[in-house]
Amino acid sequence: MCGIIAIAGDRPVAARLISGLKRLEYRGYDSSGVAVVGADGSLSRRRAPGRITALEAAVAQGPIDGVLGIAHTRWATHGAPTETNAHPHQAGGVAVVHNGIIENFAELRAELAAKGRTFATETDTEVVAHLIDDAIADGLAPEDAAARAIRRLTGAFALAIAFQGRDDLLVGARKGSPLVLGLGDGETYLGSDAIALAPFTNRVVYLEDGDWAVLRPSGFQVHDADGRPVERPLIVTSASAAVAEKGNYRHFMEKEIHEQPETVAHTLAAYVDASALAAHPRDGLRFADIDRLVIVACGTASYAAQIAKYWFERFAGLPVDADIGSEFRYRAPALVKNALALAISQSGETADTRAAILECKRQGLATAALVNVEHSTIAREVDTALPTLAGPEIGVASTKAFTSQLAALAGLAVAAGRARG
């Protein structure tokens, strides 16, 4: 994981991008960076290893600003967490930030090196900047150059791209990694999640896998993987920046531990009616008619799945497989057709869990997902999305999201028990 934020605006962006990065720091950080296009069209970068405050110091020492910029907090996968390997990466007049892994970067790098291009970093990401710059050198307009480059990429990516000489144009793209588009007043934004954009706007568009978008201060156009212009729904999100602040606690994990009486109660209330001693029925879950429940999850969520297995079997007589997403996707699971597949993921973005639930869907199973982030990728791809109402979990070690998963699963196990008599 890492965080991306970008602004195509009409007022200075550098300080706002850096404060946006601070809201994304929970997604991982070992280094960070920012690039802006100045009023004279120049593209300038500042990068620093360590925490965002190190980047802040670098910008204070060598100020840069403009009305358009991209920024990134990195969690390295390819190349050490050094200043050189920190994003944005630049080739010619193209700057790129990236969340994910470009799986075919070695082939692309060899191909570009054969054309005489030299690489400054050890990252997989740098090839993206070169591919786009190469297409511009072939005479393509920046957005067409970006589209041509994106088509060559395999792996997972969320990208934000800025161009020298263009302080009115951003390109964003996603496949596998999350990216949200925001619509403000005379400004547009890209962010890894809605919380990062919360101080700027609550009007967001979730890009679908394979989508890429051209952003200008006045608005944006989304294209699907085939390059066709598409409309994606504009959503008014309830994500708020305040929830991503620590208050009087020393750190987020402590704050989130103390939120549990509230978050567990809130989630339980959504699944059970305590006064009537009944579970709320959930549309789309045909517990009475299925022969098996297949739960896929990773990490902490998989512990919730293992506990829930006992509950569904005990209260509902429903056989349960609790599978680890990262194993499931690499074996050949023999699935009972008349089963419900349930994914559990706090973020709703866990790549292995997502691959597992999509495999269940491909095999014709009904699918549901228990997620904490409304409108997340997994939530949008299953038949039935079920919420855990824990609020944003910023701490890396799961606390309140885990107990809310258990609260929801307990409610569902009771609902299944009732439905099955």
The answer to the question of residue 99 lying near ligand GLU (CB under 6 A) is yes
Kindly identify the residues of this chain, within the stretch 69-88, that bind ligand GLU according to CB under 6 A.
Answer: 74-79
From residue 124, alpha-carbon distances to 87, 104, 261 in Å are 11, 8, 43
Tokens of 88: 């944005």
Q: Which amino acid is at 165?
A: G
* CB-nearest residue to ligand GLU: 2
The answer to the question of residue 9 lying near ligand GLU (CB under 6 A) is no
Kindly identify the residues of this chain, within the stretch 299-318, that bind ligand GLU according to CB under 6 A.
Answer: none
Residue 411 · residue 273 · CB < 8 Å: no
Give the list of residues 6+ apart from residue 65 with CB closer than 8 angstroms, or none: 12, 13, 14, 36, 38
Q: Which of 100, 172, 178, 391 binds ligand GLU (CB under 6 A)?
A: 100
Q: Which of 32, 44, 90, 123 binds ligand GLU (CB under 6 A)?
A: 123
Q: Give ∠ CA 211-96-76 in degrees, rounded to 5.
A: 100
The answer to the question of residue 192 lying near ligand GLU (CB under 6 A) is no
Q: Which is nearer to ligand GLU, 161 or 410 (CB)?
A: 161
Cβ 361 to ligand GLU shortest distance, Å? 26
Residue 73 · residue 39 · CB < 8 Å: no
| Total number of residues shown for the chain | 421
Cβ 403 to ligand GLU shortest distance, Å? 29
Residue 161 · residue 135 · CB < 8 Å: no
Q: Which amino acid is at 191?
A: G
- Choose the stretch contacting ligand GLU; rule: CB under 6 A; options: 5-13, 123-131, 325-333, 398-406: 123-131
Cβ 366 to ligand GLU shortest distance, Å? 33
Residue 404 · residue 372 · CB < 8 Å: yes
Give the list of residues 6+ apart from residue 248 with CB closer than 8 angstroms, or none: none
- Choose the stretch contacting ligand GLU; rule: CB under 6 A; options: 95-103, 349-357, 369-377, 391-399: 95-103
Binding mask 24-63 for ligand GLU (x = CB under 6 A): ----------------------------------------
> CA–CA separation, 229 vs 225, rounded Å?
10
The answer to the question of residue 109 lying near ligand GLU (CB under 6 A) is no
The answer to the question of residue 156 lying near ligand GLU (CB under 6 A) is no
Kindly identify the residues of this chain, within the stretch 125-154, that bind ligand GLU according to CB under 6 A.
Answer: 125
Q: Which amino acid is at 348?
A: G
Return the residue matching tokens 């007022």.
11
Residue 68 · residue 55 · CB < 8 Å: no
Cβ 79 to ligand GLU shortest distance, Å? 6
Q: State the number of binding residues for ligand GLU (CB under 6 A).
A: 14
Which residue, among 123, 113, 112, has the nearest Cα to 87 in the 3D structure? 123
Q: Residues in the site for ligand GLU, rule: CB under 6 A?
A: 2, 74-79, 98-101, 123-125
